[in-house]
Amino acid sequence: MIMTGHEIERIRSMLTHMNISILSKPVRPPELRATLLELTKHFAREAG
């Protein structure tokens, strides 16, 4: 996961081929919570 306050579109275009969540600052708590939950589920599926 990447949190940035700068050039989000440039960063997003550079990482389109990767499965990386990008959040732009300021990050709202519900948005952060949802992203962390999704990442947790993703890694749990890979491990299990």
Q: How do the domains of the chain map onto residue ranges?
A: 2-47
pLDDT at 15: 87
CA atoms 1, 10, 12, 35: torsion sign: positive
Question: Tens digit of pLDDT for each residue in 16-36?
Answer: 889 888 999 999 999 999 999
Q: Provide the token pair at 14.
A: 């550079």
pLDDT at 31: 95
48 pLDDT more than 80: no
> pTM for the full model?
0.73
3-state secondary structure of 46: helix
The mean predicted confidence, pLDDT, of the chain is: 91
> Are the beta carbons of 1 and 9 closer than 8 angstroms?
no
Q: How far is CA 39 from CA 2, 7, 10, 27, in A?
A: 12, 23, 22, 16
